[in-house]
């Protein structure tokens, strides 16, 4: 069996080759373009199979009318169930009781733990987050909910200082500037990628949630969006340089479109990218039959545990 790093990018779709509205068509992303052998992360780039990476377009609408939303999209990625269709609607951003129930039973973290695999959720959370959860002022988003329901402890600032977690913005700058945590450790984007590789290669299944991409899409600020993507590209460079393709796969995917179309503050119906990095034979097995968000969880289970039919 192989290791797998699930790098979740919230609110990223495959959009038009239009630099007026799509930061993926404008931002300087040399690591990503090298990975895609000269292509950008755009609708016309998929499907693609190269020396080190494959790219597919995944249906995020799942046969349900309306714009895809975070809670139901993430729940689908985590469970393999068509959550919007079961509910009859898309919902988000945070899980309602129906979505929470589905996420809490049979998610990826829980199923892989039950199969004896090491699982890790790599995000570091600040003290105020835990206080807000404890007080009831905040509820878990789908991925954090899945991790906690599987018995994983959310990582905190101490884990971040020890190098055993990663800040939501990769570098930790947001913890200082936005939350006022002046002692938050800072690292470079490349170093964050190196840490991602080290932590993920030390476990069977790891997930990192990058939600600033969705916020940038709602913000409709092209310069800020390009800066965010260029930082992400430096993270990707550090990750790729330190990743062992023979040991495992990297999966980069999303729950719905948003950032790729800054002409609107709303989500889009664009497909989500499934960018898979690693040895060609392993990529081919992983991507076989991959067409929509429901196919991600079974592919991960098959790759990490060898059986997509593990009990829910």
The arithmetic mean of pLDDT across residues 33-62, rounded, is 98
Domain for residue 312, yes or no? no
Q: CA-CA distance, 40 to 36, in Å (whole number)? A: 7
According to the model, what pLDDT value does residue 1 have? Answer: 79
Residue 123 DSSP symbol: B
Q: Which ranges of the chain would DSSP assign to H, the alpha helix?
A: 30-35, 70-79, 83-87, 97-104, 108-114, 127-135, 142-149, 157-161, 173-177, 189-201, 212-219, 222-242, 280-287, 296-305
The arithmetic mean of pLDDT across residues 77-94, rounded, is 98
The arithmetic mean of pLDDT across residues 111-121, rounded, is 97
Predicted structure pTM score: 0.96
According to the model, what pLDDT value does residue 21 have? Answer: 98
151-171 tens-digit pLDDT: 999 999 999 999 999 999 999
- Cis before 93 (ω within 30): yes
Mean pLDDT of the chain: 96
Structural domain boundaries enclosing 82: 3-305
Instruction: Please state, in angstroms and as integers, the Cα–Cα distance from residue 196 to each residue in 6, 106, 149, 303, following that order.
Output: 10, 26, 23, 19
Domain for residue 310, yes or no? no
Instruction: Please state, in angstroms and as integers, the Cα–Cα distance from residue 180 to each residue in 28, 111, 127, 169, 285, following that order.
Output: 30, 38, 12, 15, 45
Domain for residue 311, yes or no? no
Binned at pLDDT 50, 70 and 90, residue 308 comes out as very low
233-244 tens-digit pLDDT: 999 999 999 999
CATH number at residue 136: 3.40.720.10
Report the C-alpha dihedral over residues 77, 79, 85, 87, rounded to 10 degrees. Answer: -120
CB 293 within 8 A of CB 193: no
pLDDT of 119 strictly over 60:
yes
According to the model, what pLDDT value does residue 85 have? Answer: 98
Q: Classify strands 248-253 and 272-277 as parallel, antiparallel or unpaired.
A: antiparallel
pLDDT of 72 strictly over 70:
yes
231-290 tens-digit pLDDT: 999 999 999 999 999 999 999 999 999 999 999 999 999 999 999 999 999 999 999 999
CB 252 within 8 A of CB 9: yes
Domain for residue 98, yes or no? yes
pLDDT of 125 strictly over 70:
yes
Closest-CA residue to 68 (of 43, 93, 44, 86) = 93
pLDDT of 10 strictly over 70:
yes
pLDDT of 309 strictly over 70:
no
Count of domains in the chain? Answer: 1
According to the model, what pLDDT value does residue 307 have? Answer: 66
177-226 tens-digit pLDDT: 999 999 999 999 999 999 999 999 999 999 999 999 999 999 999 999 99
């Amino acid at each position: 069996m192989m290791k797998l790093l699930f790098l979740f990018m919230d609110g990223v779709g495959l959009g038009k080759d239009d630099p007026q509205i799509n930061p993926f068509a404008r931002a300087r992303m040399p690591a990503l373009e090298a990975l895609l052998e000269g292509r950008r992360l755009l609708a016309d780039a998929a499907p693609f199979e190269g020396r080190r990476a494959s790219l597919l377009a995944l249906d995020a609408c799942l046969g349900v009318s309306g714009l895809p939303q975070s809670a139901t999209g993430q729940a689908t990625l985590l469970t393999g169930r068509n959550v919007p269709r079961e509910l009859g609607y898309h919902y988000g951003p945070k899980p309602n009781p129906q979505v929470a129930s589905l996420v809490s039973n049979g998610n990826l973290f829980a199923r892989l733990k039950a199969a004896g695999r090491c699982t890790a959720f790599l995000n570091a959370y600040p003290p105020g987050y835990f206080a807000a959860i404890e007080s009831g002022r905040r509820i878990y988003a789908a991925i954090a909910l899945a991790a906690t329901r599987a018995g994983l402890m959310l990582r905190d600032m101490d884990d971040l200082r020890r190098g055993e977690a990663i800040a939501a913005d990769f570098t930790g700058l947001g913890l200082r500037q936005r939350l006022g945590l002046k002692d938050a450790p800072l690292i470079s984007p490349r170093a964050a990628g190196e840490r991602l590789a080290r932590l993920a290669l030390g476990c069977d299944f790891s997930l990192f949630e990058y939600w600033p991409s969705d916020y940038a899409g709602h913000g409709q600020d092209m310069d800020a969006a390009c800066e965010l993507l260029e930082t992400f590209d430096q993270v990707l460079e550090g990750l790729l340089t330190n990743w062992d393709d023979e040991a495992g796969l990297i999966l980069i995917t999303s729950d719905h479109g948003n950032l790729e179309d800054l002409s609107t503050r709303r989500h889009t119906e664009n497909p989500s990218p499934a960018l898979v990095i690693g040895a060609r034979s392993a990529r081919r097995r992983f991507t076989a039959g991959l067409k929509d968000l429901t196919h991600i969880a079974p592919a991960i289970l098959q790759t990490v545990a060898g059986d997509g039919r593990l009990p829910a």
